[in-house]
Structure 1
Amino acid sequence: MLRKLSLALAVSCATNGMVWAAEAPLSANTDLVSVYQEAVNNNADLAAARAQYGAQKEVVPQARAGLLPNLSAGADSNNVRTQIDQPAATVNRDAHSWRATLSQPLFRADRWFQLQAAEAVNEQASLQLSATEQNLILQSAESYFAVLRAQDNLASTKAEENAFKRQLDQSNERFDVGLSDKTDVLQSQASYDTARANRIVAQRQVDDAFEALITLTNRQYNAIQGIVHTLPVLPPAPNNAKAWVETAGRQNLNLLASNYAVTAAEETLRQRKAGHLPTLDAVAQYEKGDNDALGFSNPNQLPIPYGGDVSQRTIGLRLNIPLYSGGLTSSQVRESYSRLDQTEQQREGLRRQVVENTRNLHRAVNTDVEQVQARRQSIISNQSAVQATEIGYQVGTRNIVDVLESQRQLYSSVRNYNNSRYDYILDNLRLKQAAGTLNPGDLQDLSRYLKADYNPDKDFLPPDLAKAAAEQLKARPGY
Structure 2
Amino acid sequence: MKAASRVCLGWALWAAMTASAQAMGPFQVYEQALRNDPEFLGAIEERNAGQENRLIGRAGLLPKLSYSYNKGRNHSKATYLNDQGNRHEDRNYNSYGSTFLLQQPLIDYEAYANYRKGVAQTLFANETFRSKSQELLVRVLTHYTQALFAQDQIDNARAKKKAYEQQSRQNEHMFRQGEGTRTDILEAESRYELATAEEIQAQDEQDAALRELGALIGQPTVDIDQLIPLAPGFNPFALEPGNFSTWHEIALANNPVLASQREALDVARYEVERNRAGHLPKLNAYASVRKMESESGNTYNQRYDTNTIGIEISLPLYSGGGVSASVRQARSNLSQVEYELEGKTRETLIELRRQFNACQSGVSKLRAYQKALTSAEALVVSTRQSILGGERVNLDALNAEQQLYSTRRDLAQTRYDYLLAWTKLHFYAGTLREQDLAKVDEAFVPRAGAQPIHP
TM-score after normalising by structure 1: 0.84
In the alignment, what sits opposite 1:105?
105
In 1, distance between residues paired with 2:228 and 2:120?
43
Structure 1 unaligned spans of 5+: 1-24, 298-302, 457-479
Where do 1:344-363 residues align within 5 Å? 344-363=338-357
Q: 1:314 to 1:82 in 2, by over 3 A?
A: farther
The yes-or-no answer on 1:81 pairing with 2:84 is: no
Deviation digits for residues 195-221 of structure 1 (CA, Å, limit 9, x no counterpart): 223223222322222111101221353
The yes-or-no answer on 1:394 pairing with 2:388 is: yes
Amino acid at match of 1:98: S
In the alignment, what sits opposite 2:212?
212
In 2, distance between residues paired with 1:146 and 1:454?
21
The answer (yes or no) to whether the contact 2:23–2:228 under 8 Å persists in 1 is: yes
The answer (yes or no) to whether the contact 1:154–1:206 under 8 Å persists in 2 is: no
In 2, distance between residues paired with 1:408 and 1:133?
42
In 2, distance between residues paired with 1:54 and 1:437?
23
Aligned length: 425
Q: 1:401 to 1:149 in 2, by over 3 A?
A: same
Amino acid at match of 2:157: T
Where do 1:193-212 residues align within 5 Å? 193-212=193-212
| 1:253 equivalent among 256, 270, 273 | 256
The yes-or-no answer on 1:449 pairing with 2:443 is: yes
The yes-or-no answer on 1:30 pairing with 2:31 is: no
In 2, distance between residues paired with 1:184 and 1:319?
99
Cα drift, residue 437 of structure 1:
0.9
Cα drift, residue 132 of structure 1:
0.3
Amino acid at match of 2:64: N
In 1, distance between residues paired with 2:111 and 2:379?
78
Cα drift, residue 67 of structure 1:
1.5
In the alignment, what sits opposite 1:227?
230
| 2:295 equivalent among 293, 296, 318 | 293
Amino acid at match of 1:116: R
In the alignment, what sits opposite 2:58?
64
In 2, distance between residues paired with 1:313 and 1:78?
26
In 2, distance between residues paired with 1:89 and 1:438?
86
In 1, distance between residues paired with 2:257 and 2:160?
45
Amino acid at match of 1:81: S
Deviation digits for residues 438-468 of structure 1 (CA, Å, limit 9, x no counterpart): 1110121122222122689xxxxxxxxxxxx
In the alignment, what sits opposite 1:6?
none
| 1:333 equivalent among 327, 331, 345 | 327
In the alignment, what sits opposite 1:92?
91
Amino acid at match of 2:149: R
Compare 40-49 and 175-184 and name the one that shifted more: 175-184
In the alignment, what sits opposite 2:134?
134
Deviation digits for residues 300-351 of structure 1 (CA, Å, limit 9, x no counterpart): xxx54xx6x4322222211101111111111111112212211111111111
Q: 1:421 to 1:252 in 2, by over 3 A?
A: same
In the alignment, what sits opposite 2:283?
280
Compare 325-334 and 220-229 and name the one that shifted more: 220-229
Deviation digits for residues 242-278 of structure 1 (CA, Å, limit 9, x no counterpart): 1111111111111111111112222222222222111
Provide the secondary structure at the position in 1 that maps to 2:431.
Answer: coil
Amino acid at match of 1:357: E
In the alignment, what sits opposite 1:420?
414
The yes-or-no answer on 1:377 pairing with 2:371 is: yes
In 2, distance between residues paired with 1:47 and 1:98?
47
User: What value does the CA root-mean-square deviation take over the aligned residues?
Assistant: 2.2
* Fraction of identical pairs, as percent: 27
In 1, distance between residues paired with 2:420 and 2:391?
44
Provide the secondary structure at the position in 2 that maps to 1:452.
Answer: coil
In 1, distance between residues paired with 2:408 and 2:449?
16
The answer (yes or no) to whether the contact 1:30–1:221 under 8 Å persists in 2 is: no
Amino acid at match of 1:109: Y
Deviation digits for residues 398-439 of structure 1 (CA, Å, limit 9, x no counterpart): 221221111111101110000000000110000011111111
Which runs of structure 1 show a deviation greater than 3 angstroms over 4 or more consecutive aligned residues?
A: 25-28, 294-297
The answer (yes or no) to whether the contact 2:211–2:222 under 8 Å persists in 1 is: no
In the alignment, what sits opposite 2:242?
239
In 1, distance between residues paired with 2:297 and 2:66?
22
The answer (yes or no) to whether the contact 1:269–1:336 under 8 Å persists in 2 is: yes
